[in-house]
Structure 1
């Protein structure tokens, strides 16, 4: 037998394989490197007869966004059982009330899911609307097993379906049916040392050498060229394809929206994140007792608590408009308006506040402005909601602008982001009249609302100094529009850090951003 020379890196792989057959991923984990970087080295070892590889098809588990939600909040069945254990006697109609009392987060849909799955067991039934449980501890134990399994999948402690017990596989089937996990078929490669190489190793016929890819002048001067081995290159060995990274698709989408607005004659404007209630609500004729101004719908600043509006005449006009309608022809809201409330500082909940500021600063005239920026609301993060998201607002000011012009602009924006079918319905907003909601057709979801619009009421524009012109106004959630355009059903996907997903959604943007050069 001839002596086999291996490099230092190759020897590290051999040492790992001395324990037995391993997946490439397991070798990579042990060597603290990536699987793709090992592929070429393993191919070289195979060509030398050092290792042999085996390809297999396996079913691997991947947790979904819904599954992650249940990892954080627990399975709804466990939450209902927790409520039942603490409430004692429990009727279905009282579950939501008891959940709030016990501060257990669960919504009506999750309650339905939980009850549907619990009644399938022999330990849980509903009699005349009352929950009857035969053995609560046993039932909790059963669902704790499911919860732990879901958590292990999330932590990637469990990946291969083929390695699970029959009982665990049954639970996985249930999770898959409920959309908590996905099962994906994947090819894996196992590597092991050949029997011939093990024999050579036992006879001391393996030599570790220093391998270099190029000979340098330093090697020649120092005499190291006598000790090193030049790496042989086999050009027939395939190497992994490395695609260049691309900009984040959400950033591109927002920039594309900006270009659409500019192409329609709009000018971009900006406003502050920390805003006065005055500009966010009062200047828009939103009453101070409106539900949207409650603590559960708005972030209020603790310090500083209040800001300033230096124009006392503006405050007087807005105050009188709220109380009695001022000169607008309206009766107002008929309450005692509080300037202290109006000067409270908040994180803005709508970019319409920027439109109000622009109208006050510019007054009458012929102009179109838009803003695309973040707004903030105390939401619970889930597939459809986020605490901060992008919103777009636009206004068209002029003496001869009409409602049909507004609808035409919105149709054009929708068309340019790939939405082919748009429908408008009458709507109500505190600051516009007439008002309309725009709906876009989604192949999976049907008609989905994407924009609110209308003509600003006299109660909004007159106190701000608009006397002769009409103001067309609209606002929409940029995130929702992006979800429609990119066919995404989870808002969290819009800000993913997963490179593969970023490339996938980037490719979708290319389809309708035809005016861009990527």
Structure 2
């Protein structure tokens, strides 16, 4: 069955009509002086020109030439295509690290000066501060080195893994070389491999520059060579003045094709993405899940601390979280605070701050909703999910947004296992017709064991959409769940799955209000069931 919208048929018929009109253009073509000048400039350029460059050649503003471009396009003389380029500029952080070195390098030098092995964390923190590392840089460096396996922390002591240290030094050398090439700003035709990491670390700012490339069609080039394109004054109305003065003999009357139908609009209906989300809800309810809701503004306590994320973790930096100001007094369960503090200080061995835990943030994931649900419902056999918005300070690009949806879920039971979680991912993938799912081990602070599931997008390749795992005992103890219960948990990037199902490669199109984009969007059978 073909699920393409009727709008696709309208576009196809319109192209046939345009082709018929361009065939008639094989005779003489008369253009308004502005259009003649524009087309001549394009042909003489010998290569595609962006609209900004062309307007500069013509000595006009870009917006002043676009109507003529559209009209020449409708006549089959000019073709256009839209491209996105990326203007990259170093930030203050980028210039600072280029000059002084990366914080990880500074921290490594401090560790090496202390012998490199079995260094108490408190002593390292004090010496790092003396070396000029701020609290945020220190915390981020600890997190990166630990994640890369260069730093080993055991029993409150830090040691260097010298085997992996050389690889890190080479990687930072590559980063420094890239930063050197970016001085003064550079424009790239496509995203670079280091974009995400550098933006995450605030080393660069990336501005998407949308350009319209223009070039004459083969038909226009042939007619121009044959001398069949002429400059003439084009008028759309035969006025009394033209007739009385006799000027009508020297102008070209603009022709109108009355056979072209008025564009057809579809009947009003829900946005395809909203219909997709409704379908996902139906699937989960059919699998025995209940929907849960939670606030968009959360305390760091629920967003991080309850999930066993230490207060020095890099994911809690201002570059990764939107902090909020909330009037009034914050109310929180004192027993919950006491349990969380005890777990962090006894297991992670650092000075835990209640003030830090009570900072309001825009939630970065929907897992706090699961935590609140477990606190409220306690032990038992139940399944719950949350499908709602989350917020992160990412730079918008084809795969990232500052505000997006996450599908969170938990399975609470005395008998649930990691194998049940993998089976759930496969069942959901089958229900949405996503094809093969591949798994690989992963690391998350609040689950163990952890996993990442990948599906294959036809343009983007294998994309990670199924992260999950079994909540750690420290997490379950913090929310007061009895010891005999286990919890399988997952937080799915539902936007990426929607891109797969709806056949798009730019996440921003999921939220567009452009009717033409929406009407071109194929509506998958899973959405319209």
**TM-score surpassing 0.5?**
yes
Contact 2:471/2:487 (CA < 8 Å) preserved in 1?
yes
1:401 shift after superposition: 1.7
2:452 maps to 1:433: no
Q: For the structure 1 residues 194 and 284, does the alpha-carbon distance in structure 2 shift closer, same or farther, using more than 3 Å as the test?
A: closer
- For 2:73 and 2:493, the matched residues in 1 are separated by 50
After superposition, residues 268-417 of structure 1 pair within 5 angstroms as 268-302=291-325, 304=327, 307-309=330-332, 311-324=333-346, 332-417=347-432
Tell me the distance in 2 between the aligned counterparts of 1:105 and 1:378. 23
2:511: which partner in 1?
A: 495
CA distance in structure 1 between the partners assigned to 2:236 and 2:527 by the alignment: 54
Q: Do structure 1's residue 239 and structure 2's residue 261 form an aligned pair?
A: yes
Q: Which residue of 2 aligns with 1:460?
A: 475
Paired residue secondary structure (2:498): helix
Distance 1:239 1:61, change over 3 A: closer
Within 5 Å, which residues of 2 pair with 1:23-422?
56-64=75-83, 66-67=84-85, 69-70=86-87, 94=176, 96-97=178-179, 154=211, 159=214, 161=216, 202=243, 237=259, 239-244=261-266, 245-302=268-325, 304=327, 307-309=330-332, 311-324=333-346, 332-422=347-437
Change beyond 3 A, Cα 1:383–1:105: farther
SS in 1 for 2:487: strand
d(CA) in 2 for partners of 1:494 and 1:262?
23
Give, in whole Å, the separation in 2 of the partners of 1:54 and 1:378: 40
> Displacement of 1:202 after TM fit?
1.9
Of 470, 478, 489, the residue aligned with 2:486 is 470
Q: C-alpha distance in 2, partners of 1:339/1:194? A: 74
Contact 1:96–1:108 (CA under 8 A) maintained in structure 2: no
Deviation at 1:312, TM superposition (A): 1.3
Q: Deviations over 1:336-366 (max 9, x none)?
A: 2211111111111110011011111110011
Cα RMSD between the aligned structures?
Answer: 4.5
Cα distance change of structure 1 residues 104 and 298 upon mapping to structure 2, 3 Å threshold: farther
Kindly indicate whether residue 499 of structure 2 is the aligned counterpart of residue 480 of structure 1: no
Is the alpha carbon distance of 1:472 and 1:109 closer, same or farther for their aligned partners in structure 2, counting shifts above 3 Å? same
8 Å CA contact 2:73, 2:79 repeated in 1: no
Distance 1:240 1:396, change over 3 A: same
Q: Structure 1 residues 106, 192: CA separation in 2 closer, same or farther (over 3 Å shift)?
A: closer
CA 1:108 to 1:92, structure 2 compared with 1: closer, same or farther past 3 Å?
A: farther
CA distance in 2, matches of 1:108, 1:466: 52
How far 1:20 moved relative to its partner?
A: 5.5
Partner of 1:222 in structure 2? Answer: none
The structural deviation recorded for 1:194 is 10
Deviations 1:471-495 (CA, angstroms, capped at 9, x unpaired) = 1100111212212222322222222
TM-score (norm 2): 0.58
User: In structure 2, how many angstroms separate the alpha carbons of the residues matched to 1:58 and 1:252?
Assistant: 40
Q: TM-score, normalised by structure 1?
A: 0.59
Deviation of the 1:419 alpha carbon: 0.4
Q: Distance in 2 between matches of 1:193 and 1:335?
A: 80
Q: Shift of the alpha carbon at 1:59?
A: 3.6
- Cα separation, 2, equivalents of 1:94 and 1:108: 21
CA contact (8 A) 1:366 1:397 kept: yes
Q: How many residues get paired?
A: 357
Q: CA deviation at 1:96?
A: 4.5
* Offset at residue 95 of structure 1 (A): 5.0
Q: Deviations over 1:2-55 (max 9, x none)?
A: xxxxxxxxxxxxxxxxx96999xxxxxxxxxxx9xxx9xxxxxxxxxxxxx997
Indicate how the Cα distance of structure 1 residues 447 and 428 shifts in structure 2: closer, same or farther if over 3 A, else same. same
Q: Which runs of 5+ in 2 are unaligned?
A: 1-30, 36-66, 100-172, 195-206, 222-231, 247-257
Separation in 1 of the partners of 2:429 and 2:364?
24
Give the direction of change, closer, same or farther, for the CA distance of 1:110–1:415 in structure 2 (3 Å limit): closer
Distance in 2, matches of 1:421 and 1:295, equals 37
**Structure 1 105/200 Cα, relative in aligned 2: closer, same or farther at 3 Å?**
closer
**Shift in Å, 1:103:** 9.5
Q: Distance in 1 between matches of 2:469 and 2:317?
A: 25
1:423 aligns with 2:438: yes
Segments of structure 1 that go 5 or more residues without pairing to the other structure are: 1-18, 24-34, 40-52, 114-146, 167-189, 206-235, 325-331
C-alpha separation in 2, matches of 1:447 and 1:201:
66
Select the structure of larger CA radius of gyration. 1
Paired residues for 1:436-451 under 5 Å: 436-451=451-466
Report the equivalent of 2:527: 513
